[in-house]
Amino acid sequence: MRLLVVEDNPALGRNIADAFRTKGYAVDAVEGGDDADTALRTQAYDLVILDLGLPDLDGLEVLRRLRARGSRVPVLVLTARGGLEDRVQGLNLGADDYLGKPFALAELEARAGALIRRGVGGEAAVIVHGRFELDTASRVARLDGVPVDLPRRELNLLEVLLVHRGQVVSKQALLEKLYGFDDEAGVNAVEIYVHRLRKKLEPAGLCIRTVRGLGYLLERP
């Protein structure tokens, strides 16, 4: 899953981005409204964490433009503005949730996880697939109830395939979900991660099938 963090406080932005990267998400982080608008025009995201008090382009305008383009990506608004009018305006413009500053990272992570699950079709917090399960809140994968050690990109790959189980997911789509703007990677990297994950799923009788010329499919158990 890929997130965009828009926060003009560099230290806070890094803390938020690092927290989600640790959980296995690909994260792009920008500090200005113009950069956020450009990113949202050129890249698909599973969640946007959006500060309102931004330089060059206000967060509410970023949100307004996003919804005007027809995007339905979940948006969690962060702001130090405590006024009811600002909160109402943000929600009316299409924000999905609102969190005032200061806040606890644990609450931000919980709210973000709920919005991501809602955005991908209302998935439960724990996705069960045969003998395998993924707790998307705690970011823990289990086989027959026993935790399986997965590096963060393999965990992210597993989540994307589980969400789209029974459907073909292209290499390019996986690449965009696994890596942010600052990462250097190509489709060969996706092949490597698929190979590694495939070996770990085999004991559970689960198969990631290569559909030549199209991508990968996690077969239903």
Q: What is the pLDDT along the chain (221 residues), one digit of tens a residue?
A: 899 999 999 999 999 999 999 888 889 999 999 999 999 999 989 999 999 889 899 999 999 999 999 998 999 999 876 666 777 777 888 899 988 888 999 999 989 988 987 765 455 678 888 888 888 878 888 988 899 888 888 988 998 898 888 899 998 889 888 887 767 776 688 899 999 999 888 888 889 999 998 999 998 87
Burial of 107 (0-12, 13-18, 19+ CB in 10 A): exposed
Judge contact between 24 and 160, C-beta under 8 A. no
> d(Cα 132, Cα 105) in Å, to the nearest integer?
28
Judge contact between 185 and 171, C-beta under 8 A. no
Paired tokens of 13: 């932005």
Domains with residue ranges and CATH for the chain: 2-119 (3.40.50.2300), 126-218 (1.10.10.10)
Separation of CA 151 from chain center = 16
Paired tokens of 134: 């993924």
